[in-house]
Amino acid sequence: MWDYKTPGIPDEYFDRTEKVPITKEEVRTIQISKARLKLGQTVFDIGCGSGSISIEAALQIGSTGNVIAIDYDENAIELSKKNMKKFGISNITLIHGNAKEKISELEDADVIFIGGTGGDTKEIVEISKNKLKVGGRIVIGIILIETLYSVLQILEKLEFESIDITQVTISKSRKTTTGTMMLARNPVTIISASRV
């Protein structure tokens, strides 16, 4: 369905529901680039939502790699299954449950994406450090200022290296009866870092 090597699958290609969030394509593209993915890697997608990050990552790491996607919302897991089938992806393992409980049971990861976590982002970052290989990357998508502050504090406390903060505000065009207008989306802050 997606015949390109580059990330940035258009949002409309994914099955979606109002109850399950999706990381928008431009933000997703930046997050994928900050992860520095390679063939054969093991990737966690914590708070996978619709599975858009999982699918993009699975395409980047190839059939020798493995994405482990976790979400506490059963609707998100079902939607991710639908999207996996739609894109013909077989290297994603879906786990329904609380990430704080499930992460410790998993193998070590090369890259960990952290998205919608229901307010537990700081604790999930703490738990994730011990599951991230040395040199591994963590990429966190944040919309709340309070979460941004707490995540920066914990990354510094845990001695992550090369902490990068990127805030993006995307505007998308929409046709109207008189022309084309730009509609702004909510800003998203992306924090990426490496474990030493």
* Per-residue model confidence (pLDDT) at position 117: 64
- CA 80 to CA 178: how far, in whole Å? 38
Confidence (pLDDT) at 109: 98
Q: Please give the chain's pLDDT, 196 residues, in tens.
A: 788 889 999 999 999 999 999 999 999 999 999 999 999 999 999 999 999 999 999 999 999 999 999 999 999 999 999 999 999 999 999 999 999 999 999 999 999 999 976 678 999 999 999 999 999 999 999 999 999 999 999 999 999 999 999 999 999 999 999 999 999 989 999 999 999 9
Domain boundaries defined on the chain = 16-194
pLDDT of residue 77: 97
pLDDT given for residue 5 in this prediction: 86
Cβ pair 28, 83 in contact under 8 A = no
The pLDDT of residue 10? 95
Quick one: pLDDT at residue 119?
75
b/e per residue 45-72 (b: at least 16 CB within 10 A): bbbbbbbbbbbbbbbbbeeebbbbbbbb
CA dist 84 and 48 (Å) reads 12
* Domain 16-194, CATH number (from 3.30.1280.10, 3.90.1300.10, 1.20.120.140, 3.40.50.150): 3.40.50.150
CA distance 12 to 101: 33
